[in-house]
Amino acid sequence: MKKKILLLALLGLSKLTNAQEAKVEKSIFGVQTGVLGLWVNNESRLADKFVLRTELGFDAGFWANSFYDQTGFLMAPVLIVEPKYYYNMAKRLAKGRNISDNAANYLSIKTSYHPDWFVVSNYDNINVISDISVIPSWGIRRNLGKHFNYELGLGLGVRYIFAKQAGYSENEISLADNTSFKIGYKF
């Protein structure tokens, strides 16, 4: 009888040591690409369900109109700081779903800054007008195997455009959206 109790205790202890906790990873480094861009990012844990995501990358764009004789393409640098709250990790874990590498739903405040440092384009002398945006967002992050992941983000916020730097009389405020689908690789 003592051997059976000892065996059950050891099996229970091994289950406890292998159990996944419902909290975000300490730090995740990765690279992601989407329809219009390429970004390098890091998510650093602030608390059990909170991370601070920082990104450096390039947002891309296309245009075609009567001002240019061909279709235009540009890539401009972007700096992003995004606190995230992963709200359903315990629920996913209770259902036996994977939460490694922060695979869960989240709420965030995505803050992006596009500086006028340089632009990569098929036209010469193209500049961007610097802007900063703050967009409350909802999103999901899921894993595709051990190193790959995907994210979907949706949100609506505000953008402040530094139009005076481009010769306009006033800066401008407009609506901004966060509609993104990114596929990434975690290091």
Cα dihedral sign, 170-171-172-173:
negative
pLDDT value at residue 68? 66
SS3 169: coil
Segments of the chain with pLDDT less than 70: 1-20, 66-68
Q: Which helix (H) or strand (E) holds 89?
A: helix 89-94
Q: How far apart are CA 133 and CA 114, in angstroms?
A: 9
Q: Which residue type occupies 50?
A: F
What does the DSSP 8-state code read for residue 20?
Answer: P
Using a 10 angstrom Cβ sphere, with 0-12 exposed, 13-18 middle and 19 or more buried, the burial of residue 33 is: middle
- Whether the CA torsion 154, 157, 74, 32 is positive or negative: it is negative
Task: Identify the bridge partners of residue 50 per DSSP, sorted by sequence position.
Answer: 85
CB 109 within 8 A of CB 135: yes
Let me know: does 172 contact 158? Beta carbons within 8 Å. Answer: no
- The structure tokens listed for 39 are 């970004």
Conformational region of residue 31, where left means phi above 0, alpha means psi within -120 to 50, and beta covers everything else: beta
Give the pLDDT confidence score for residue 19 in this predicted structure. 53
Token pair in block for residue 150: 């995907």
Average of per-residue pLDDT values in the chain: 90
Amino acid identity of residue 69, one-letter, is D
Q: Is the pTM of this model over 0.85?
A: no
Residues 131, 123: contact at Cβ < 8 Å?
Answer: no
**pLDDT confidence of residue 4:** 61
Residue 161 is predicted with a pLDDT of 97
Show the domains of the chain with their CATH numbers.
26-186 (2.40.160)
The amino acid present at 71, given as its one-letter code, is T
Residue 15: predicted pLDDT: 46
